[in-house]
Amino acid sequence: MKRKDDLMLQKVGGQALLIPLGAKVLDMNGMVVLNTTASFIWELLAEDCSIEELVRAVADRFEVDADLAGADVRTFVDDLYRQGWIEI
Amino acid sequence: MTGTAEYGPLVRELHERAAKLNLPINGIFELTFVCNLRCGMCYARQFGGKRSPVEGRELSSTQWLELARQAKDSGLLFLLLTGGEVFLRNDFFDIYEPLTRMGFMITVFTNGCLITAPIAKRLAQAPPSRVEISLYGATAATYEKITGVAGSFAACCAGIENLIVNRVPLVLKTTLSRFNVAELEDMRQMAHAWGLKFYGSWLLARRPDLQGSEVENFRLSAEQCVELESTDQASANELSEAAINGMPWESDYNFYCKAGRAAFTVNPSGDMNVCILLPKPGARPLEIGFHEAWMEVVKYVSSAPAPSSACLACGERVFCGRCPAWSLMENGTLTEPVPYWCDIARARTKRYGRPSDPNPVP
C-alpha cells in the first residue's frame, strides 16, 4: 500500500498535520492531526509498504512488541483506507 | 492516531504554540495595491480598475512563489491572499495554483465582482479552504453608494453564485458603516438564502499609509458598535468577544495579538511587515532571505515600547482594542490612546459594567 499524493504532511511547532491538496480540500474541509506514530507511518507510506513492514518498522522505532505495534498499525491503516487516503 | 479536532480550537492552539516559538505560521500576501472598487472607508484603496501587476511596483508571480517556498520552510501554514482585488492580477492563477500544491491552508479575500464562471470553475479544481467576499449592501443603491462603481452589486452577486455553483467554500462578510447598517438584516437573509455563513465587522481603520481617509464619515458611533456587538451574533467578531470576556492582557505588553510572534504580512512591493495596518519594519525577504526578514519583524515587535501610562492606568482598558497599529494610524505613535477606542471602551463599560462590577447595566 502507498499513500495518495493529495495530502501533505506538515509539521508546525512539533505538531504533525495532514493538509489536503488540490480538489481534496472539498472533501476534507480542514486538517487532520497525527500523533507521533501515525506521522511516522505516514512518512513510511511514501513508498509501497506491506502491513508487516510497517509493523516491524514501528516496533523497532518505538521499541514496543510486535503485537502492540500491529494493533496501532492496523487501526491507522484501516482509518486511512476508509478515508480513501491510501491505495492498496 | 488521527485527530479530528474541532477546526477553530485547533487553529487557536497552533497559533498559541507558534507564538511561543516565534514561528511565522500565519502570513498575508497582499498581491496587488489596486482595486476595481473605490470604497471610501477602505484602508487599502487604490482605485485604478487597471490590471495588475503594476509594472515595477508589485512582485512578479515568480517572486511570490519564491517567497512562499521560503516561508513554508520557516513554518508558514495559514496563507491569506488579498489585495486590492486579487483577481485584477492577470497572473493570479500562475501564483495561486502552485501555492495549492505546497501544503498551505489558503484563504482568498475578494470583492467577488471579477469572478466569472470560468474563474470559479478554475478555482474549484483546487479550491482554497475558504473564499471570503465582502458584501457592502443588500441593494444596488446602497452597495454602489459605498463602492462607487455602477453595476458592481450585480457583478458581486454573479460572482457569489458562480462560486456556489462550483462548490468553492465561501463565506460572506460585511463591513458595517452608517451607510449600510440598516441593511444588515437583509444582507444576512441574502447569505441565508444562498446557504452561506455570514459575519459583519464595524471596526473601520484609517489608512496605514497615513494618506487622507474618509473613514470618519463611515464609522458607526461607539454606542452603535457596542449595541451591535452585544445584540447581533454576526457582528460580534473575535475582538469584540475577547473584549466582552476580558482581553488577555499582559501587564505592559503593547502587541497583544499574534502579529510579529506568529504572523506577518508582505505588501505588493515585497516589504514584510507586522500586519496590514502597521507597515513596519519593511524588511526585504527577497533580498535578505525570508528567515532574516521574519527575525526583523520579531525584533520590531519584541522591542516595541509599552503602552502609554495613560492607557496602562485606564480603568476601562479591559474593554479596549487599541494596539500599536491603531495608535500609529490615529496619532502617529505606537503607544498613545486612540480616541475612537476610548469611546468604545467607555460604551462597553456602560453596557457591560466594570469587570468587577456585580451589577452591569443589562
Query: Rounded to whole angstroms, how far apart are CA atoms B127 and B279?
Result: 30
pLDDT greater at residue B202 or residue B49: B202
Average confidence (pLDDT) over B230-256: 59
Residue B280 included in any domain: yes
List, in sequence order, every residue forming a beta bridge with B52; answer none if it has no partner.
B89
- pLDDT band of B255, cuts 50, 70, 90: confident
CA gyration radius, chain A: 13
* Chain A residue set in contact with B, beta carbons under 8 Å: 8, 10, 12-15, 17-19, 21-23, 25-26, 29-35, 37-38, 41, 72, 75-76, 79
Query: 3-state DSSP call for residue B54?
Result: coil
Average confidence (pLDDT) over B116-120: 98
Give yes or no for residue B280 having a pLDDT over 60: yes
ipTM (interface pTM):
0.91
Cβ density class B165-193: b for 16+ within 10 Å, e for less: ebebbbebbbbbbebbbebbeebbebbee
- 8-state DSSP, B279: E
| Closest chain B CA to residue A36 | B1
Domain carrying residue B65: 7-306
- The amino acid sitting at B4 is T
Packing angle of the helix pair B339-352, B324-331 (nearest 10 deg):
130
Sign of the dihedral defined by the CA atoms of residues B349, B355, B357, B358, in that order: positive
- pLDDT band of B361, cuts 50, 70, 90: very low
Q: How far is CA B197 from CA A83, B193, B267, in A?
A: 27, 10, 28
Are residues A32 and B129, on separate chains, in Cβ contact within 8 Å? no
Residues of chain A neighbouring B102 (CB-CB closer than 8 A): 8
- pLDDT band of B241, cuts 50, 70, 90: low
For the stretch B296-302, contacts whose Cβ atoms lie closer than 8 Å and that sit 24 or more positions apart, written own/partner, are: B296/B272, B297/B260, B297/B264, B297/B272, B297/B273, B298/B22, B298/B260, B298/B261, B300/B260, B300/B274, B301/B255, B301/B259, B301/B260, B301/B261, B301/B274, B302/B260
Are residues A72 and B1, on separate chains, in Cβ contact within 8 Å? yes
- The amino acid sitting at B227 is E
* Domains present along chain A, CATH in parentheses: 2-87 (1.10.10)
Count of structural domains, chain B: 1
Alpha helices, DSSP H only, in A1-88?
Answer: 24-28, 36-44, 51-62, 66-83
Q: With an 8 Å Cβ cutoff, is B96 touching chain A?
A: no
Model pLDDT, residue A29: 74
Give yes or no for residue B224 having a pLDDT over 60: yes
- pLDDT band of B128, cuts 50, 70, 90: very high
Q: Which of B311, B310, B306, B309 is nearest to B322 (CA)?
A: B311
Is the bond leading into B281 cis (omega within 30 degrees of zero)? yes
Residue B57 included in any domain: yes
Do B28 and B266 touch, CB atoms closer than 8 A? yes
Query: Rounded to whole angstroms, how far apart are CA atoms B16 and B328?
Result: 26
Chain B nearest-CA distance from A18, in A, is 9
Task: Compute CA B260 distance to the chain's CA centroid, rounded to the nearest angstrom.
Answer: 15
Among B4-13, B80-89, B188-197, the range scoring the smallest mean pLDDT is: B4-13
Model pLDDT, residue B45: 64
| Helix H or strand E encompassing B107 | strand B105-110
Residue B277 included in any domain: yes
Do B2 and A33 touch, CB atoms closer than 8 A? yes
Residue B311 included in any domain: no
Are residues A13 and B14, on separate chains, in Cβ contact within 8 Å? yes
Do A12 and B20 touch, CB atoms closer than 8 A? no
A61-81, pLDDT tens digit by residue?
A: 999 999 999 999 999 999 999
Residue B319 included in any domain: no
Q: With an 8 Å Cβ cutoff, is B79 touching chain A?
A: no
- The amino acid sitting at B188 is R
Q: Which of B268, B267, B266 is nearest to B58 (CA)?
A: B268
Query: 3-state DSSP call for residue B210?
Result: coil
Are residues A21 and B3, on separate chains, in Cβ contact within 8 Å? no
Are residues B126 and A72, on separate chains, in Cβ contact within 8 Å? no
The grid cell for A40 is 511516522
Nearest to A12 among B2, B77, B126 (CB): B77
B299-351, pLDDT tens digit by residue?
A: 999 998 989 999 989 988 888 889 898 998 888 899 999 999 999 999 999 98
Maximum separation of any 2 CA atoms in chain B, in Å: 60
Query: Rounded to whole angstroms, how far apart are CA atoms B234 and B200?
Result: 6
Sequence-distant (≥ 6) Cβ neighbours of residue B230 within 8 angstroms: B236, B244, B351, B352
Query: Rounded to whole angstroms, how far apart are CA atoms B310 and B314?
Result: 6
Model pLDDT, residue B358: 44
Are residues B3 and A75, on separate chains, in Cβ contact within 8 Å? no
- CATH number for the domain harbouring residue B138: 3.20.20.70
The phi and psi torsions of B272 (rounded to 5 degrees) equal -95, 130
- pLDDT band of B258, cuts 50, 70, 90: confident
Are residues A12 and B129, on separate chains, in Cβ contact within 8 Å? no
Q: How far is CA B301 from CA A79, B42, B274, B334, in A?
A: 43, 25, 8, 11
- pLDDT band of B104, cuts 50, 70, 90: very high
Nearest to A26 among B4, B102, B167 (CB): B167
B32-59, pLDDT tens digit by residue?
A: 989 999 998 887 767 666 676 776 789 9
- pLDDT band of A54, cuts 50, 70, 90: very high
